[in-house]
Structure 1
Amino acid sequence: MGADYNSISDFVGSLQDDVRRIAICGTSYNDIGGVARVIEQQASELRDDGYDVEIFALEGTREPPEGVLLHSLGRFETSPYKEVDKLITLASPSALRFIQSANRFDLIIAHRFPFSTLGHAAKVIHGVPYVYWSHPSGSSDELFEGLAHVWARVQHHLETKNYAVRRADCICAVSEESGEYIETKTGREATVVPNTITESRFEDVATEETINERFVLTPEDTVVLHVGRISPRKNIHRLVDIFQEATDGETGYKLLLVGEESMPEYSERVRRRAGDDVVLTGFVNDETLAGIYNRSDVYATCSLSEGWGLPLSEASYFDLEIVAFESIPAVQSLRNAHHVTEEDYDEFREHLIHALGAVPMLSEDDE
């Protein structure tokens, strides 16, 4: 494992002294993507430290941090999963323009494919240092079928073993676990720079009354929260099952699932398993999200694989109790997290019960 740094600024500051202009690149910069949140945090921190920062994305619908330029390379909408766009981008005029103008930057930070390939091209043609920021901690192709299954395998290869990844000037990972994983794929040492939250996102907080009214909660309800896309990757159907087992039909408990429903068939599967005590909110803006965090009591996720787990850090910022599998890197650094053995759903249920205060913790005399 390579050196560790506490922040993106510490890492960039360790590079050559003449780095002033930085391009941070990712597939999408919008209101729903976890990687977009990381890019936003990096751009904000580096801007505050005096760097000139520009963001490049295939799709850019979110307002960038003040003083940071956002460039959208465009989308082509060529498949139901919007993933073939990433391959087509490599041959697009916008990608060519990105490479041609890359010499105006002193550093390129690439989050995921296709910017790993574009970053490598800029390095070869202009000699611009290129850093690859690794997010995956394992392949998730078993969660999908058909074209989505094929793409998941291809994308995992492109983001782990691909030539462009292996030839980066530096490979960064968001946790020790992610770093060790990418090292097994590339044969390269990884530098660990953990994710941190962007506190400015939560300066405006919706009131508890607003949240209760919008999502049909009573002031007495105990709220369990999950934030993330409604997708098999997040294992949300199992979270619904465990929540309902833990609360055992008792009234006064609600599970809020906050996130875009990008896979209608899976969302319908979740709804079929859910009772009236489960609320799918869809996408919410930052003020509402901050209000939901503030209103909630417990954060729970059954996701088995995360590069870091940024919503857990956000939940900790709002002092929520957290229940998650110990395989999620963020769990290891949070003081108020219940660590659950990976895929032990019985243990998860018991920790959730304790977090909710539904039953007291057993003392040695009780046992």
Structure 2
Amino acid sequence: MKNHYDSVVDFVEAVPRSVNSIAICGTSYTDTGGIARVVEQQALALTKEGFDVEINTLTGDKDAPDGVTLHELGRFETTPYKELDKLLTPIVPDGWRFLSRMADIDLVITHRFPFSILSYLASRTKETTYAFWSHPSQSSDDLFDGVAKVWAKAQHHMETTNFTVSRADYVCAVSEESRSYIASKTGRDAIYVPNTVPDSRFEEVASKETIEDRYDIDPTDTVVLHVGRITPRKSIDKLVESFETATDAEEGYKLVLVGKENMDEYSTTVREKASDDVIFTGFVDDETLAGFYDRSDVYATCSLSEGWGLPLSEANRFGTTIVAYDSIPAVRSIENAVLAMDGNQNDFEAKLAETIGVHADHADRSEVEARDVDAS
């Protein structure tokens, strides 16, 4: 096989064996999970091409796409108990039933541990072809302390150097950076298959007026958007700091943070740094999210560690200007992104200030022109 395919469909169609049935596996299938969105997009694309697709997950809180069966194997939904599912699933009845079901599956695409273990066993006992889909660009254990740090390091090992990954039939990665990284851990020549944004996801777009009315945004405001959970991995606190510095308390600017808050202490830190010009929306549905992409002037992220960076691709689909560090893989496929040097917050703030200044000037000119037209 080649070392690069443009889509998951192209990859599956290139697999030497005949593939009709596919199981896609990830630890969660929720509205707030980045990997869950990739799982959903793969299921949509493959189902559209006529493949028989099922999704396997530990926890799920949304419906699978039409024609796709959803199997939920886990028993816990909250941290830290849901981490027990990752440890116990391979040895409990739900795990055994998964292995039994794989006898009728041609290809299993696995995104996370513990499905890496189950899929490896299936490939050895059920003649199922096993593809591990790699996302990590680096370990995140430096974001945690104590037991959480140990667990983060162990999980990273299980998704990189463990033999259930290195001995997969195929190892795929969502970016060239992730491809190089997983290759360095496994010694395998990984296959690059980029994420894509299906058109069906954003068929409905909330109007700009709806977004402005619902979230108290003035039509003349310059809006900076970020999409993702409020977590240290995304460096949301640094983004808030940079926004406040770049705008220097001037009126007419809003930072909109679309994402779930599930880490109370970190959320408190972020909110303490935020002025009234920072809007926390929590989770929003796809129609509202599309409306935010359409209404926003700039999409900005201070994240330093992304396997891909799917929201950047989504923002680019709506023509939203993007400001990000040059280390984010998704920016490689985006023209005219405004890039700051990796990890240089001062450079990021300067790029953000310059970018929103251009938009603000444009908005001011449009308002003046509109007044001139009314006056005439």
Bin of the TM-score, shorter chain as denominator length: over 0.9
Aligned partner of 2:5 in structure 1 is 5
Counterpart CA distance in 2 for 1:81 and 1:96 is 21
Please report how far the alpha carbon of residue 78 of structure 1 lies from its aligned counterpart in structure 2 after TM superposition: 7.5
Greater fraction helix: 2
| Same amino acid, percent of matched pairs | 57
Cα distance in structure 2, aligned partners of 1:84 and 1:161? 21
What is the DSSP-based 3-state SS (H/G/I as helix, E as strand, rest coil) of the residue aligned with 1:122? helix
2:86 is matched with 86
Which stretches in structure 1 are left out of the alignment for 5+ residues? 361-367
Tell me how far apart the structure 2 counterparts of residues 89 and 77 of structure 1 sit (CA, whole Å): 14
**Is the Cα contact below 8 Å between 1:2 and 1:190 reproduced in 2?**
no
Q: Distance in 1 between matches of 2:320 and 2:139?
A: 30
**1:363 alignment counterpart:** none
Q: Secondary structure at the match of 1:319?
A: coil
Corresponding residue for residue 338 of structure 2: 338
- Check whether the contact 1:258–1:281 (CA below 8 A) recurs between aligned residues: yes
Name the amino acid aligned to 2:109.
I
How far residue 357 of structure 1 moved from its aligned partner, in angstroms, is 2.2
Q: CA offset at residue 17 of structure 1?
A: 4.7
Q: CA separation in 1, counterparts of 2:220 and 2:54?
A: 46
Which blocks of at least 5 consecutive residues in structure 2 are unaligned?
362-376
Matches within 5 A, 1:163-182: 163-182=163-182
1:1-367 to 2 correspondences below 5 Å: 3-76=3-76, 79-80=79-80, 82-357=82-357
Give the structure-1-normalised TM-score. 0.95
CA distance, structure 1, for counterparts of residue 250 and residue 77 of structure 2: 45
Give, in whole Å, the separation in 1 of the partners of 2:206 and 2:78.
38
Check the 8 A contact 2:74/2:85 in 1, yes or no.
no
2:366 aligns to what? none
1:187-210, Cα deviation, whole Å (9 max, x unpaired):
111000000112211111112122
Task: Tell me the distance in 1 between the aligned counterparts of 2:174 and 2:78.
Answer: 31
C-alpha contact 1:40 1:198 (8 A) present in aligned 2: no
Q: What is the one-letter code of the residue matched to 2:65?
A: P
**Count of aligned residue pairs for this structure pair:** 360
In 1: Cα distance, 2:326 partner to 2:199 partner: 25
Given that residues 308 and 329 in structure 1 are in contact (C-alpha distance below 8 angstroms), is that contact kept between their aligned partners in structure 2? Answer: yes
Check whether the contact 2:59–2:76 (CA below 8 A) recurs between aligned residues.
no
CA contact (8 A) 1:325 1:339 kept: yes
Q: Which residue of 2 aligns with 1:364?
A: none
Deviation of 1:265 (Å):
0.8
SS of structure 1 residue aligned to 2:108? strand
The residue type paired with residue 51 of structure 2 is Y
- Provide closer, same or farther for how the CA distance between residues 78 and 293 of structure 1 changes in structure 2, counting only shifts above 3 A: closer
8 Å contact kept, 2:306–2:328: yes
- State how far apart, in whole Å, the 2-side matches of 1:116 and 1:239 are: 34
Distance of aligned partners of 1:206 and 1:85 in 2 relative to their CA distance in 1, 3 Å threshold: same
Q: Secondary structure at the match of 1:314?
A: helix
Look up the SS of the partner of 2:206 in the other structure: coil
Residues 28/186 of structure 1: CA separation in 2 closer, same or farther (3 Å cut): same
Q: CA deviation at 1:263?
A: 0.6
Give how far 1:16 is off. Answer: 2.2
Query: Could you tell me whether the CA contact under 8 Å between 1:77 and 1:85 is conserved in 2?
Result: no
Partners of 1:227 and 1:77 lie apart in 2 by: 22
Q: TM-score, normalized by length of structure 2? A: 0.93
Deviation at 1:146, TM superposition (A): 2.6
Q: Distance in 2 between matches of 1:240 and 1:78?
A: 27
- Following TM superposition, by how much is the alpha carbon of 1:81 offset from its aligned partner in structure 2, in angstroms? 6.5
Aligned equivalents of 1:259 and 1:55: distance in 2? 24
Structure 2 Cα separation of the partners of residues 146 and 351 of structure 1: 37
